[in-house]
Structure formats: C-alpha cells, structure tokens
Chains A and B, each alone.
Chain A
C-alpha cells in the first residue's frame, strides 16, 4: 500500500500488470460475448475451449517443438474445428429451445471435454516455455517489464480492433448485427442466417483457443483450468454487458485493474473487489456498462 503512494515505478508496473492480465482475459471474454450477442447462447464450454487451446499449445510448441506462432495458429484452427462440430452437431438443434436446455447442453460439453482432455493429456500440471524472443524483460526506460506480458498488452487491442472493423465496417458485419436484431426478417430477405451463426461461433471459439494458447506460458495447462477462466469471463462480460464488444474490452480492463490494485491495497483479500463490482453492476445496471436492457417479452 505504501509503495503505491511513494513509488511511481511501482504504480506503473501495477498498471502494466493490470493491462496485460485484462488483455489476455479480453481475448477469451470477447469470444464468449460475441457468441452470446448473435446466437443468444451462453456457452459454458467456452472455458473448456480455452483449456483445449492451452493444451494444443503444449502439444505443438512444447512437445513437438514446432514453435510458438504455430502453436497459436494450431490452437485457433483446432478450436475452429471443434466449434464446427459442436455447432452443427449440437447447438443448431437448440436455438429455438429454452435457455435452460442450452445451458445444460453446454455444461454437458464441459464435462465431456474435461474427460477428453484427461485422456489426451493426462492429469499432470504441464508447463509451456516462453518463446525465446520473449523470454526476458524489456527495458522501458524507468523499469524492466516481462516482454511476454507486454506482447499480451499489445495483442489484445489488436484483436479488439480487428473484431471492431469486422463487425462495424464490413457488409458481413452489418448482416451479423442485423441477425442479433431480427433473424427471422433477415432470413426472409434471403440471407443465410445459419451460415452467420456458424461463422460467429467459429470465430468466438477460436478466440478462446488463441486466449488459451497465449496464456499457456504463464498459466500451466492443467485439468480444471476451464472452471477458473469461465468465472473470470462471466464477471467481465456481466460488468461490460453481454454481447457488447466494447463491453468485453472495458470490462476486461476494469477486471485487470481491480484484481491487481485490490491485491496491492488489501493483500489478503484479492478477489473480493471484482465480485463487489459485479454485485454493484447487477444491482444498478444489470445489463452491464455497454449492454442494452432486454426488451419485454424477449
């Protein structure tokens, strides 16, 4: 606590900690939020997708030694493939069913993928090395900061920008936004709505895979890692507003800052602040900072 007041470098480091944590979480939360925004499915299995991303990274980069970038690409591709199977094989039968059914289905996928991960990768806590170029620390003039964390802090905003351009500035993005408003009308206009659904689900799931792959060097792939991340993602998207890209971005940053500075101010009570914030949002603005209130009868 004293260090916050007396040591500006320490504050800078905490700011960087907050941003890099927030940006890693953003990549994953954005996928969850995107899928909900269009498909109206709360995908509990998103955490399991993230876990698979981390495991694929381990297999490709650590065991097969094919390199870090290959690992990220493989994780994205692997999760895209899983997404196609899950969406075509399971989800599409449930879009017009009640939300509870969808939740139960995604929960079943969580259990299934947990067991598959155990069969494929065993139960050890695995470890993924940093890529050589990002192993050390970067000199920022006033202090050194881990290069890998800096990379995360940069990659998050890039992904945000990419998603924003895709959704706000392309014809395809306009159709996607239209699908969130009224998919029956869109369908009647001759647009292939199922195609939009599947593409969105693939993109969202691939983001979970990329997030897991990027987290692997700082977050050892291990059974159960899906449960931790899904809670963090829910906190972020609820604070930011489910379905909103800006919401995920700002929510993730808020979470990063609250988590880090909470720990500095009250070292024994790290988690409580994020959840207090979550409660406040739920009470005052249940649709989140950037979300829209649900219409009646929806």
Chain B
C-alpha cells in the first residue's frame, strides 16, 4: 500500500501553496459542564488536504461546527485568510468555507440541479424584486448559475441525473451531490464530515479521486474520516483528536506510528488489569509452545501496525 502524500500541481489561480488559509487557535467548546473541544489549534494551508481523526465522541464534528459558525466557540478564534470568521453559519459560507454533513442533509424534495443552485446562493444577488420583475439581469444571472451548476454536476458525475429528486438518489450519489452543492458556493476551503461513511471500497476509492480533483482546483480540504486507509492515502497532514484535545499532528507516518494514537483507538491496558492473570496463563502457554523471544507488547504493536 503506497501512501500518496505528495502535493500535486495546483490550479493556476490558487494562492501559493504553503500560505495558511484556515487558522484555528485555542478553540474550546463547552456545553454546560462538558468540554467537548478543548484548546485545539489547527491550521490548513492552501492546496492542502488535512485529515482529522479520532475515536467516536472525540469532538471532531463539534470542532467542525465551531469552524463553520453553527456553534460559537466558548474560547479561541478561527481565522480564514487572516480574517476572524463570523459566528453565523451563512456568513461563514459567504466568506469561503463550505461544508458537508456527517448525516447527509440534502434538500430531499428539490431536484438535483436545484440543490446545487441553492449552493450558488451566496454568489448571486438576485432578490425578491428581481425575481418578480424579471429584468435582463435576472435571466443572465439565472443562466450563469445553471451553467455553473451543471458544470459542477458534470464534475462529480451526476449531470445525467440533474432532474431527479435528491431523495431518490442512491446513497453514494447523495454524498457526491452534497459535495457538489458545497462546491457551488465557490469555497476556498471545503470541510468534509465523513465523506465515505457507509460506502463500499470502490465508492471510497472514487471519493478519494474526487477529493484529489477538488484539491487540484485549488481548494483546500479538511476531512473527518474513520477509514484509516482513506485518510492516510489522501491527507498531507493528519491531526488526531482525543477527548476534545489534539493529541498529535503530522504526516501519515508519524501519526500511524504514534503509540498514543493506537492507545486512544484501542484503549490502554488498565492499571491493575483484571484479565492479567488469564493473559499471563495464555502467555505462558504460548511461550512454551513457540519458545520464541517475542514479548506480548511487541506483538500487540506489530498487529497495530498491520492495520
């Protein structure tokens, strides 16, 4: 399994790679007495794909919601292109950060094309009067929006289904449509919340290609995912969130090799291990059988690396 982490050539219009576009500093989110996210720092450079992993309940989605203005962080601030992001989610989208949702949230009873057109909302201005009076400007804007939306559907491979109802699409295509809808707002940074959840390996692979293609358009991507192969193939950097705190951040190799990450996912051995006695018995038996020199800890670590 090769890990492809080299940054491909970015599109010409994109900002120079390496400049930080998203800068979250000390983001803390408390719900009453519960601290869901605690002092997390995270940066995303332009043209970068950053992964965010962590066990269930680690606060990944809460952190996403803080970034996109659905929650207002209790402490800390989020800057996008050196401006503090506003605390309203629609303003965040207008500023250039778009997102998808963990549990797909399409407009089910609108057509596929209309869903993408809704995504164009922030990039068009035609209001109520324009719609009622229907001047030439309205028709021009509407036509441009439709063209752009169809382009995006072409990009994600849904152009043939533009007239279908969103709710009738198969699961994988709904995910794609959600990405197309987010892209329609012309973001500089795309936040994907578990884009491959529930997908089969082929679909996951296709999503991977899609994310690379999005990056090649010059859009930075921050992605939450549980599929480790997907994350380590895709991401330039990976951050691990455990119990609301950032454990480690670095390239795939660093993160994969880190013992604390392994422990966070599988749990640490307890201090006075209740199963220790049995384990020791088994160990002894194994040792007698194999008469090898391997210690148990080594085997465990080795297994972990196989993942």
Partners in one complex: no
Residues of A within 8 A of B (CB): none
Residues of B within 8 A of A (CB): none
